Amino acid sequence: MSFPPNLSPPLTFAESDKSPLSIRAKALVFVDPRSRQLRERAEALAPGNQALLIRGETGTGKELLARYIHRHSERGGLFVAVSSGAISPQWGEAELFGHVAGAHVGGASSRAGWFGSANGGTLYLDEIADLPRPLQGKLLAALETRELYRVGAGQALPVDVRLVAASSIDLARAVAAGTFDERLYAYLGDGLLELPALRQRVGDILPLAEYFLGSHAQRLGLAIPPISSAAQSVLEAHPWPGNTRELENVIHFALLLAGSAEIGAEHLQLPGTP
Ligand SMILES: Nc1ncnc2c1ncn2[C@@H]1O[C@H](COP(=O)(O)OP(=O)(O)OP(=O)(O)O)[C@@H](O)[C@H]1O
Ligand SMILES: [Mg+2]
């Protein structure tokens, strides 16, 4: 058996966010009082090494907040973002912890694994409840002992990894249902950051809309159009089930429709509008 070469890598991002050349260090637009409070909590928790859990609906900005925390930490290593659901039950241990050359999973070459790649940095695990169950205990052991075993290796390697996990579901329920490791849940316990849905922080809606308008207009070489007051009211009243990601898409599309003219309510393609 060899490690399947066509496995789609769960890694979505690995670079030092501290690099001045990083083009990925996007702004975190947090204007609503609830968001400001959350930013303060994130800044207070950032310098420590304890594990954190970011709870929030899809598209609320969990990954962006995790990057923000990494940037405000004192950790010089990489921010490694991994989608837990993309870690296969069959090959997951090698994906997460790596393997040595000649291991039954690996063929001729060795492989570092996501956990080792985050050494000195931050491992961001998206939708942690989707991590295959047997790996949950192994993850906890590596975090607690600060040692990892590559598949096929006889000796442990010292590692220093900070875990920032994200979840859109209530992990307490997953523990009660027996699908999530109780000890891993307890390990994440104290570091909870609740990211409210966009409809619960209405004060962020227009600042975000303007931010996305500015960045897309700049990219398209357009002047930044104003948003009519009718359109502003529509944006503030929409429930945003897809949260900030949905808002960005709506604004992007409105810009394409309106060009540099004022953005009106008729340019906002929302469910229920023609
Ligand atoms: N406060 C914010 N300021 C600026 N951009 C934001 C903010 N929140 C979210 N975004 C942008 O919205 C998009 C979705 O954010 P992100 O991917 O971090 O959400 P997520 O909660 O991880 O989503 P998912 O649940 O789908 O994994 C990204 O393009 C992100 O840059
Ligand atoms: Mg995400």
At 272 the pLDDT is: 65
The whole-number average pLDDT for the span 177-185 is 96
| Ligand 2 (single-atom ion) residues, CB below 5 Å | 63, 126
Pocket test for ligand 1, best of 13, 29, 63, 125 (most atoms within 8 A of CB): 63
Are residue 142 and residue 158 in the same domain, yes or no?
Answer: yes
My answer on whether 86 and 163 are in the same domain is: yes
Residue 210 CA to residue 224 CA, distance in Å, equals: 9
pLDDT at residue 3, as a whole number: 37
Residue 2 lies in a domain: no
What does R_g of the chain's alpha carbons equal in angstroms?
21
Same domain, 178 and 216: no
| Helix ranges (DSSP H) in the chain | 33-45, 62-71, 92-97, 114-117, 133-145, 171-176, 182-188, 205-220, 229-237, 243-258
* Confidence check: pLDDT of 8 > 50: no
- 253 and 152, same domain (yes or no): no
Q: Are both 48 and 118 inside the same structural domain? A: yes
Note every long-range contact of 205-212, with CB atoms under 8 Å and residues 24 or more positions apart, other chains counting: 205/235, 205/236, 205/240, 205/247, 206/232, 206/235, 206/236, 207/29, 207/31, 208/29, 208/244, 208/247, 208/248, 209/235, 209/247, 209/251, 211/27, 211/29, 212/247, 212/248, 212/251, 212/252
Task: Name the domain boundary from 134, 168, 194.
Answer: 194
Asked whether the CA dihedral 139, 81, 121, 189 is positive or negative, the reply is: negative
Residues with CB under 6 A from ligand 1: 26-30, 56, 58-64, 126, 168, 208, 211, 244-245, 248
Q: Does residue 204 sit within a domain?
A: yes
Position 217 scores a pLDDT of: 94
Confidence band, pLDDT 50/70/90 cuts, at residue 10: very low
Give the distance (Å) from ligand 1 centre to CA of residue 121. 21
Calculate mean pLDDT across residues 200-228: 96
Looking at the fold, whether 178 and 203 belong to one and the same domain comes out as: no
Look at ligand 1, atom 18, and give the residue with the nearest C-alpha.
Answer: 61
Share of the chain above pLDDT 70, in %: 88
Report for 6-20, 23-37, 217-231: range of highest mean pLDDT? 217-231
- 100 CA to middle of ligand 1, Å? 36
- Ligand 2 center to 108 CA (angstroms): 34
pLDDT tens per residue across span 41-70 = 999 999 989 999 999 999 999 999 999 999
Of ligand 1's listed atoms, the one at least distance from the Cα of 35 is 1
Residue 9 pLDDT class (50, 70, 90 cuts)? very low
pLDDT at 23 over 70: no
* Per-residue confidence band for 147, with pLDDT thresholds at 50, 70 and 90: very high
- Provide the mean pLDDT of the chain: 88
- At residue 256, the 3 state secondary structure works out as helix
Residue 245: inside a domain: yes
Cβ(212)–Cβ(252) below 8 Å:
yes
Give percent of the chain above pLDDT 90: 75
Interatomic CA distance for residues 153 and 63, integer angstroms: 32
**For residue 211, which atom of ligand 1 is closest to its CA?**
4
**Cα within 13 Å of Cα(255), Cβ side:** 24
Ligand nearest the Cα of residue 203 is 1
Neighbours of 160 (CB within 10 A): 13
Does pLDDT of 6 surpass 50? no
Look at residue 153 in the predicted model and tell me its pLDDT.
84
The residue assigned the tokens 């060009």 is: 259
Q: Does 103 lie in the same domain as 161?
A: yes
Q: How many domains does the chain have?
A: 2
Q: What is the CATH number of the domain that holds 212?
A: 1.10.8.60
The alpha carbon of 74 and the centre of ligand 2 are apart by a number of angstroms equal to: 23
Judge if 148 and 244 occupy the same domain.
Answer: no
Rounded to an integer, the average pLDDT of 190-210 is 97
- If you search the block for the tokens 């989707």, which residue do you land on? 130
What is the per-residue pLDDT for 112?
85
72-116 confidence digits (pLDDT tens): 998 999 999 999 999 988 888 889 999 888 776 666 777 889 999
36 alpha carbon, closest ligand: 1
Indicate which residue's Cα is closest to atom 23 of ligand 1.
Answer: 59
Q: What separation, in Å, do the N-terminal and C-terminal C-alpha atoms of the chain show?
A: 54
**Atom 15 of ligand 1, nearest CA residue:** 61
Token representation of residue 113: 């694994």
Report CA(154)–ligand 1 centroid distance (Å). Answer: 41
Domain residue limits at 141: 11-194
Domain of 63: which CATH number? Answer: 3.40.50.300
CA of 67, closest atom in ligand 1: 18
pLDDT score of 154: 85
